[in-house]
Amino acid sequence: MLNRIVHHVGSAYIHRLTRAQSERQSFRRMNERPVEYAFVFSWLNRLQPKTVLDVGTGQSALPALIRTCGLVVRAVDNVRDYWPKGMVNRHWLVEDEDVRRAAPREQYDVVLCVSVLEHIRETAAAVRGLHAYASAGGHVVITTPFGEHGHPNVYELDGSYGRDNAYPCRQHSPADLAEWLACGFDLVHAEYWRAFDSNTWSVGPLLRPIVPSDTPANLGCFVLRKSATEL
């Protein structure tokens, strides 16, 4: 009886919450997620993993969607440092864990880091953490602002849509990618996209994301494999 009452009250609250969120919607801008999520699911299909770790989930439904594909999923985020007002993900359990200080109790076939790495100041420590979470021979999927030239925080630039954000946004570069690989990865695949009509992420007119031909990219999607020497 008590369980039924709790279920009824909880269901009513969730229904009220989701209705309010639905009714408050307004269009802001099309962003890069269709490109990034398409990349993620395409590679999950190719790699056929059994276990997945999603790093930096926030409030997204990505882990829940991956679970519908049949995989075993865990989600973590550095809640205490990056969500000062607290954070609740109504789609999936997100555990408070800092990838920069990874001491994983288990490892995963695939580790996802979707539009997260650019917001972590200690990038090298974060990538070493991703490496620690990946199983021997496992894969890490990273999507992040990426261009010919890096920048420590594009949100500081004039014209950036993110100037009001409290956290930084790094544009990574080929030099950064070389540092990631030096952590013990092989590069399996890379895709480059252009989402802003400039050489810099978040600056200039927004584009429908395209694969650039004769213009620089400002978004990179990467699949890294934990080196064979780790086997």
Mean pLDDT, the chain, rounded, equals 93
Q: Which residues of 148-179 are buried (b: 16+ CB within 10 A; e: fewer)?
A: eebbebbbebeebbbeeeeebbbbbbeebbee
Amino acid at 19: R
Residue 4: inside a domain, yes or no?
no
Residue 1: inside a domain, yes or no?
no
Q: Is the pLDDT of residue 4 over 90?
A: no
Tokens found for residue 188: 């399996």
pLDDT tens profile 57-77: 999 999 999 999 999 999 999
Task: Report DSSP state, residue 170.
Answer: P
Centre a 10 Å sphere on the Cβ of residue 20 and count the other Cβ atoms it contains: 9
**What one-character-per-residue DSSP string does 10-52 give?**
HHHHHHHHHHHHHHT-------SHHHHHHHHHHHHHHH--SEE
CATH number of the domain that 97 lies in? 3.40.50.150
Counted domains in the chain: 1
Centre a 10 Å sphere on the Cβ of residue 197 and count the other Cβ atoms it contains: 12
Q: Is the pLDDT of residue 230 over 60?
A: no
Q: Is the pLDDT of residue 108 over 60?
A: yes
Nearest to 153, CA basis, from 135, 130, 170: 170
Residue 195: inside a domain, yes or no?
yes
Q: Is the pLDDT of residue 206 over 50?
A: yes
pLDDT tens profile 165-192: 888 999 999 999 999 999 999 999 999 9
Largest CA distance in the chain: 66
Residue 7: inside a domain, yes or no?
no
> Do β-strands 219-226 and 134-145 pair in parallel, antiparallel, or remain unpaired?
antiparallel
Residue 25: inside a domain, yes or no?
no
pLDDT of residue 228: 66
Q: Do residues 218 and 196 touch, judged by C-beta distance below 8 A?
A: yes
Centre a 10 Å sphere on the Cβ of residue 205 and count the other Cβ atoms it contains: 8
**Which domain range does residue 138 map to?**
31-230
pLDDT of residue 36: 98
Residue 135: inside a domain, yes or no?
yes
As beta bridge partners, residue 192 has 220
Tokens found for residue 135: 């199983």
